[in-house]
Amino acid sequence: MSILIINGRLLLDNNIVDDKDLLIEDNKIAAIGKGLSGDNVIDADGNYVSPGFIDIHIHGSAGFDTMDGTFDAINAISKSIAKRGTTSFLPTTMTEDKNKIKNAIKNVYENKNHVEGAEILGIHMEGPFINPKQKGAQDEKFILKPTIDNFLELCGDYLDIVKLVTIAPEIEGSLNLIKFLKEKGIIVSVGHTDSTYDEVAAGFKAGITHATHVFNAMRGFHHREVGTLGAIFDLDISAELIADGIHSVSPAIRTVLKLKGKENTNLITDAMMAANLSDGVYQLGGQDVYVKDGAARLKSGVLAGSTLTLDKAVKNILANTDLSLYESVALASYNSAKVIGVHDRKGLIKEGYDADIVIFDDDIDIKKTIVGGKIVYEKK
């Protein structure tokens, strides 16, 4: 059954196009143009028709966490983030007990095709191969040595579901693991690290191509030893940002966009279970998290994930940079697709691409979310 979207303002070819309709057939964008017909018609009513957002770093939402290791958890996350325009994501694990990590990976592997909202594209393992000096809200007692054996023990028979691994390249054994991950087609990201420029450069040579929540949980910039941050700025490494004004303030975000370019920067949420809920006390990685005014912190005051959603992140970019709407959305869609190598089918309004589409108004208020040609959310 085909779907025709009419009267929309399409985010198409770096422009806003008002005079074309969009046809969906067999879960794909079949045609873009005039004079099209479909079995079902969606009237966009002058709202924007955009590629769906892609979140490659998200722990939880709506009271659930990836580490819960249940279908109910990842399904609740999937459905809740679809309401905010996210059409695909990487459920993200943390540095916790080995058996909990194993169970979380197994759960995503077995249930990824059954969720009812945003599509699961794989898993992002944030840890346990990190530096305790830059642990952030991760529990130091569960940090493991970065060895191939340790990695395979965690993944077991579910290696294929792992798409992205955050790692500290300065820890002994990391370079061999990075090379192994690259050979397996897994994206390696530098993060939770106290690495010098040279240590990041060695990791880059071994296979690092991305950087986890830039500025946060990494060695900062100094003009005589530029550290992790300076290496990210200098090397051909893509950079993800938490654009909530808490993890990264607007001048910092604008600096990354200037130094890395809008093509090499992407938006993530790093959201924990309090996303889409009110302030209160929640859990992340087995630790209590106190959410006040939308900021999530451990009792010590350390930031512990975010309560951000990608619609808000896009809105924040629009309000605080000179990027256009098309460019702002690309940071949350096509650029994230590029990081994990799915940009040949996701992240654009383009014929032949997956029909992952979000319809929103001038305030980025989500009206409708379509995943693989299926309407998974409609605002009442």
- CA–CA separation, 261 vs 92, rounded Å? 26
pLDDT digits 0-9 by tens, 301-349: 999 889 999 999 999 999 999 999 999 999 999 999 999 999 999 999 9
Those residues with Cβ within 8 angstroms of residue 278's Cβ, 6 or more apart along the chain or in another chain: none
Give CA 61 to chain center in angstroms: 13
In this prediction, residue 285 has a pLDDT band, given cuts at 50, 70 and 90, of: confident
Residue 294, class by beta-carbon neighbours within 10 Å (0-12 exposed, 13-18 middle, 19+ buried)? middle
Residue 244 known to be catalytic: no
Give pTM, 2 decimals. 0.97
Q: Is residue 174 within 8 Å of 148, Cβ to Cβ?
A: no
Residue 364 confidence (pLDDT): 98
How far apart CA 92 and CA 99 sit, in angstroms, is 15
Res 73: pLDDT? 98
Using one digit for the tens of pLDDT, what is the confidence trace for 199-216?
999 999 999 999 999 999
Which residue of the set 21, 139, 244, 270 is catalytic? 270
Quickly state the pLDDT bin for 287 (edges 50, 70, 90): confident
Mean pLDDT, to the nearest integer, of 273-293? 90
Cα angle for residues 206, 210, 216 (degrees, 5° grid) = 120
Q: How does residue 283 score in pLDDT terms, banded at 50, 70 and 90?
A: confident
156/339: higher pLDDT: 339
Determine the pLDDT at residue 376.
98
Flag whether pLDDT at 286 surpasses 90. no
